[in-house]
Structure 1
Amino acid sequence: MSLRRLLKSFVDAIRGLKHVFKSEQNFRIQVLVGFLVLAAAVYFPLRSWEVILIVLLVLLVLLVEILNTVFEYFSDLLKPRLHHYVGVIKDVMAGAVLLTSLVATVVGIIIFYPYLENLLK
């Protein structure tokens, strides 16, 4: 692959991320929460594996939200009149985002709880 094609791929990917950021309110909220969680991970003396897990979970939530957006756009191409599963697909993807966010939240609480408890003492 030439350097020019590689650069174009990066530009295209960044354009896609910008589009999701501009068009999806939930993604913007998740990015904000992700930055806050990452700031907390820097502030507290977390172990290396805790930081790695936090970073991976933040990225996983954002990735699932991006995939949800892709499925929504694709489903909108089909329109509900073409197939009754379009609404089901959207609901399932929204459920995937919710489940991922809940798991990330629970893991975050488990990791940060001891540090927050010490901070509040």
Structure 2
Amino acid sequence: MDFKIIKNFKHAVDGIKDILIFERNFRIMILIALIVIGAMFYFPLARLEKAVLLVMIFSVLILELINVVIEKIMDFVQPEYDERVKIIKDLSAGVVLLASLGSVIIGIIIFWPYFLK
């Protein structure tokens, strides 16, 4: 067995542990994701609807991870306040916001008919 692969996997898991421990927004997103996944099994959704929801969930989580990475890098590179760094961080957060809004809209489109019954 290739121990380098195991070591790399451990580093990835450590990164996810760190974001779960230190980033409140990520924990909130995980909670929302678990609620949506629960709803996916409660309502009789089509496989395609479930797949779309899972893609949206993982997209938001991945983009939030990237957002945190960008914020950490910017804080490391420029510890003092810099308007350019603020703009970079705001843009990065905006990406997550847009993905989140898109996910909410898709969730409403998929779940709305079940709430009307």
Gaps of 5+ in 1: none
Q: Partner of 2:19 in structure 1?
A: 20
Amino acid corresponding to residue 63 of structure 1 in structure 2: I
Shift of residue 22, structure 1, vs aligned partner: 0.6
The one-character-per-residue Cα deviations of 1:56-91 (angstroms, maximum 9, x if unpaired) are 100001001000000000110122658531110000
Q: How far apart, in 2, do the equivalents of 1:84 and 1:26 lie? A: 23
Q: TM-score, normalised by structure 2?
A: 0.95
User: What percent identity do the matched residue pairs reach?
Assistant: 38
Pair 1:112 & 2:111 matched: yes
Kindly provide the amino acid, as one letter, of the partner of residue 17 in structure 2. Answer: K
**C-alpha deviation, 1:3, in angstroms:** 1.7
Output the TM-score relative to the length of structure 1: 0.91
Moved over 3 A (4+): 80-84
Is 1:96 aligned to 2:95, yes or no? yes
Q: How does 1:1-121 map to 2 (within 5 A)?
A: 3-79=2-78, 81=80, 84-118=83-117
* Secondary structure, counterpart of 2:65 in structure 1: helix
CA contact (8 A) 1:41 1:51 kept: yes
CA distance in structure 2 between the partners assigned to 1:17 and 1:47 by the alignment: 30
Q: Name the aligned partner's letter for residue 59 of structure 2.
A: L
5+ residue gaps, structure 2: none
Question: In 2, Cα distance between the equivalents of 1:71 and 1:16?
Answer: 14
- Between the aligned partners of 1:15 and 1:61, the Cα distance in structure 2 is 20
Q: How many residues align?
A: 117
